[in-house]
Structure 1
């Protein structure tokens, strides 16, 4: 078995492999120098800085930037994008659901895909329950598909009790003085 055919042991290299590598490196350097010389003849100087993926104009950390872009970067860095979008929907409630529905309802909270809406009367609460599917679709158009999965509707919480024929106001009468 010759030296080139036997398995290499202990990091042993063949002379032919080393020579081929050295010749390849030298050839690559020569071609790079030739390309730089050709570019210099054409008036094109090689880049001094490596290329970077450009998302926009390069900005130094102390340079001013647009307010909207700064807020968007802050929201993205902190993971607040969804919360800000939900807050935007709550702030634009009349534009999203229409003035009639907005006059009698308001969004109360958003948690785990569920929007809680408070209505000012039981009639409007029933109306919103009937419109729940349409409302989920409309909210998902604003927030992104799948953000809202359910609408929960609450009726009036602390409405005054109605007075009527079965209500007695005032004292109980003469029985108050006995025993």
Structure 2
């Protein structure tokens, strides 16, 4: 029988590891003084306070505030305006897309009031400004042999 010193060493290692009694993982006993019922600091905490501390520790507060701006858009501008607008967040700018050019014009007039309301409700959001855009121009090209025309006009609404 040929002897391979590496195989023999490996076999001897397996025999020493797996022979005898099985090793058990030691159980670490907790200090009985460290956690007692009705002890100070064991009271349940409010979920909002725990989440706020977690967001602050991880640096998520501005991101959560920005998401809250989009989630509470109807509360910021009202249900009627929110029904005709779609807010998006691009970097530090809220871009509001409107259903028609008339709604876009009205929101451009109210833009500073909307910015003030956002900063008042969500001071940690870091939003710099609100941009209002109207709808895209309708595509009126009909087929492969269309004649060039003068370009898009108003959205007619």
Q: Is the TM value for this pair above 0.5? A: yes
What CA distance in whole angstroms lies between the structure 2 residues aligned with 1:58 and 1:111?
44
SS of aligned partner of 1:152: strand
What CA distance in whole angstroms lies between the structure 2 residues aligned with 1:93 and 1:72?
21
SS of aligned partner of 1:109: strand
What CA distance in whole angstroms lies between the structure 1 residues aligned with 2:133 and 2:46?
41
| Bigger proportion of residues as helix | 1
- The residue number in structure 1 matching 2:41 is 59
Paired residues for 1:1-179 under 5 Å:
59=41, 65-112=45-92, 114-144=93-123, 147-157=126-136, 160-161=138-139
Larger relative contact order (Cα-Cα within 8 Å, sequence gap ≥ 6): 2
SS of aligned partner of 1:108: strand
What CA distance in whole angstroms lies between the structure 2 residues aligned with 1:168 and 1:68?
56
- Aligned-residue offset at 1:151: 1.2
Aligned length: 108
- Aligned-residue offset at 1:97: 0.4
Whether the 8 Å contact between 2:95 and 2:130 is mirrored in structure 1 is: yes
The gaps in structure 2 that reach 5 residues or longer are: 1-38, 147-157
Larger radius of gyration: 1
TM-score by length of 1: 0.50
TM-score by length of 2: 0.56
Output one character per residue of 1:55-110: Cα deviation in whole Å (capped at 9) or x when no partner.
xx9636xx854322221111001111121112112111111101111111121005
